[in-house]
Amino acid sequence: MLKAARAEGFFCIHRLFIVDSISFHNIDKQVAQSNPDCIEILPGCMPKVLGWVTEKIRQPLIAGGLVCDEEDARNAINAGVVALSTTNTGVWTLAKKLL
Cβ-based neighbours of 50, under 8 Å, separated by 6 or more:
41, 44, 61, 63, 76, 79, 80, 81
For 7-92, which CATH class?
Answer: alpha beta
DSSP three-state, residue 53: helix
Mean pLDDT, 10 residues at a time, the chain of 99 residues: 91 97 96 96 97 96 96 96 93 81
The per-residue pLDDT for 20 is 97
pLDDT of 25: 97
Give residue 96's pLDDT: 77
pLDDT at 46: 96
